[in-house]
Amino acid sequence: MSRWGSQRRVRVAVLGLLLVQLGSGRVLQAQGTVDDVASHLICLCGCNKLLNVCEMDTAQQMKAIISEKLAGGWDKRKIIEYMTATYGEQVLAAPTKRGFNLTAWITPFGLILLGSVVLWVVLAAWVQHRRTSQAEEAATVLSEDLESRYGTMLESELRDFDG
């Protein structure tokens, strides 16, 4: 066989192996790893840690279930749905974004917006009240100043006129 023919076969074999590796990598990437799936779940041992960082026996058992499901070809979404169906929604690290749980996502932003509006209204009223009281005070001082100055002049001229 020629030298060029054997090199071509080697290239085709290497290319084939690379394609197989890429394909299996995509499958693994789609399925996720145990830590990737566990990062979306809470350990139920009572520590309230994410499942991927907890080292308690309960966490190890839950991670073993995830590992079994990954080995069985399940993807991350399907495993999380299974864990939620088995243990309830308290196993989720974040509430779902539908139904009543949607309030857990919306309420903080709504409260921040409401608090900002209330704060703005209160500050605006406070500033307006302060400006009004300062204007009234200035008018009073001016009125008293004018009255005292012109009042004494008027009294002295009235005395001179009478006398």
More reliable by pLDDT, 103 or 12: 103
Question: What separation in angstroms does the CA of 86 have from each of 10, 90, 139?
Answer: 50, 11, 75
Torsion angle in degrees (nearest 10) through CA of 14, 18, 19, 25: 160
For residue range 14-69, list pLDDT tens digits in order: 666 655 665 554 434 434 688 899 999 988 888 888 888 888 998 899 999 999 99
Give the total residue count for the chain.
163
